[in-house]
């Protein structure tokens, strides 16, 4: 289960993804200006989704190697 929290600094939005099962955190930073055509809410929702995807990706990359038949 991943949970996402966010803080705003003068320079960026910092999103922290916490992996509740392993109590690990993954932190990502986004620029403050939403892309053209996106509201701030839409932008932050997009950032949240990407943060979750990136954290899940990092978790998956750490998985132990599995034996294969050769």
Does residue number 43 form part of the binding site for other proteins (CB under 8 A)?
yes
Does residue number 50 form part of the binding site for other proteins (CB under 8 A)?
yes
CB of 7 to other proteins, least distance (A): 14
Q: Report the residue number, 41 or 69, with the smaller CB distance to other proteins.
A: 41
Does residue number 37 form part of the binding site for other proteins (CB under 8 A)?
yes
What is the distance between the alpha carbons of residues 32 and 27, in angstroms, rounded to a whole number? Answer: 16
List all residues 6 or more positions away from 21 whose beta carbon is below 8 Å from its beta carbon.
Answer: 1
Helix, strand, or coil (residue 1) = coil
Stretch that binds other proteins, among 16-24, 27-35, 62-70 (CB under 8 A): 27-35
Helix, strand, or coil (residue 14) = strand
């Amino acid at each position: 289960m991943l949970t996402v929290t966010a803080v705003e600094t003068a320079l960026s939005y910092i999103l922290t993804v916490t992996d509740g099962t392993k109590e690990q955190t993954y932190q990502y930073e986004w620029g403050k200006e939403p892309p053209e055509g996106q509201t701030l809410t839409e932008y932050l929702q997009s950032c949240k989704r990407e943060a979750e995807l990136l954290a899940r990706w990092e978790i998956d990359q750490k998985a132990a190697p599995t034996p294969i038949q050769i």
